[in-house]
Amino acid sequence: MAHLLMVESWVGSMSRLLPRAVREAGHEFTFLTRDLHHYLRSAPEGTAHPLLAARHVLTADTNDTPALLPFAERAHAALGFDGVITSCDYYLPTAARIAERLGLPGSPPDAVEAACRKDATRRILADAGVPGPRFAVCADWADTAAAARGIGYPLVLKPVDLCAGMYVRRADDEEQLAAAYRALAGFPVNARGQRRVPVVLLEEFLDGPEVSVETVSSGGASRVVGVTDKSTGGAPAFVETGHMFPAALTPADAAAAGATALAALDALGLDTAVSHTEVKLTAGGPRVVEVNPRPAGNRITELVRHVTGIDLAAACVEVALGREPDLRPRETGLRSAAIAFLVPGAAGELEAVDGAEEVRGAPGLLELQLAEPGRAVEAAVSNNEYLGHVMAGDAGGTGARGRAEALLSALSPRVVGR
């Protein structure tokens, strides 16, 4: 039995999948957080949050890395850790620094920090010749407007240090760009109390389907587990509305996407990591959108598991312990699995979701998860506002997306004004 130190977590499904993977492997974990109630508030009433299955819960300021490192050393001396893990982007660099300080397995901290900063990722990949969009890093509005004229519209404005599509906007002219810039400037501190880096990233708009490449890196080698597709909506935002694994691509396109992701991981120097690399398949070939040195969110890891039997959450645990994960595909009876998200279009309060009983009994359904009545609803501008999801599988081929979308269309949220 191994003992892991889990440094914070996402509040969504990975806060359940990662503890499950630790438990099913026969290991245990200590949870380190600055605010346990941040997680407990998300648990359904009357249930215990899976993070409470921790052997110990430690409280410290996880946003203060210089002070946290000696705290982690003292905890390690008392409790004995075999690995350090997190699923939350905002704490990936912190976990890497702790692992290095304790002499435990992990990616080089500089590589993790570069992957978690979109501007650093862009510069490193460009220097290495890994294909991506034309880009500019801008410190103020004057720089932003000038860089936009140089790149040309349409383009994409991004924060360099947020996730889940927050404040990522397409701009077709300077007026739209200014609105996106002002909105981002009004969000100086993220949801974990960390002050944001006050620069913006401008990128050439890449035309073509977007996919993600799921990989596992250990022992100095990275392996592609598969390629997932993505659908988006909510323009000018980029809200993920669904995914299917495996992506319905030609073998050549899938191989090209995989090779591009591996080149990006190599350029960044990432190892000892499960990664989720987003790639656009343009007419000029694959282009890297971003690299995430953690398992995919939005339950993509579950799509992979339903089709291949490979558990990427479990692989994340194993590589954090310095072990080789089992990545052998197993027969599951499914050839594809897809998820479709219930995305709200208006603000208010959720009264009910009609059609749930019909969907719950539908053939091919793998999961149905819906928000509880009474929840406050905001019109979706990122991946944080979903009202639930439908997951479906197909035993015959790549029909899972159609099934999931058909089931989603049977759901009708009733949102009343506040």
- The answer to whether 168 and 156 have CB atoms below 8 angstroms apart is yes
Please determine, for residue 47, whether its predicted confidence score (pLDDT) is greater than 80.
no
Q: How many CB atoms lie within 10 A of CB 289?
A: 24
Name the residue among 166, 222, 235, 212 with its Cα closest to residue 339.
212
Q: What is the pLDDT of residue 371?
A: 92
302's tokens: 């579950």
As a whole number, mean pLDDT of residues 165-194 equals: 96
Q: What percent of the chain has pLDDT over 90?
A: 91
First to last CA, the chain: 51
Q: What is the pLDDT of residue 364?
A: 92
Q: What is the 3-state secondary structure (H, E, C) of 203-215?
A: EECCCCCEEEEEE
pLDDT at 242: 97
Residue 39 has pLDDT above 90, yes or no: no
Q: Would you say residue 418 has pLDDT above 80?
A: no
- Is it the case that residue 45 has pLDDT exceeding 90? no
If one counts every other C-beta atom within 10 angstroms of the C-beta of residue 351, the result is 14
* Residue range 206-220, pLDDT digits in tens: 999 999 999 999 999
Question: Is the sign of the CA dihedral 165, 280, 157, 195 positive or negative?
Answer: positive
* Least confident range of 10-19, 25-34, 68-77: 10-19
For the stretch 280-295, pLDDT in tens is 999 999 999 999 999 9
Write the DSSP assignment of 152-194 as a string of letters.
-SSEEEEESS--TTTT-EEESSHHHHHHHHHHHHT--B-TTSP
Q: pTM (2 decimals)?
A: 0.95
The tens digit of pLDDT for each residue in 88-120 reads 999 999 999 999 999 999 999 999 999 999 999
pLDDT in tens, 293-321: 999 999 999 999 999 999 999 999 999 99
pLDDT at residue 13, rounded to an integer: 86
* pLDDT over threshold 90, residue 42: no
Banded model confidence at residue 332, pLDDT cuts 50, 70, 90: very high
Nearest Cα residue to 70 out of 93, 98, 92: 98
Helix (H) or strand (E) holding 349: strand 348-354
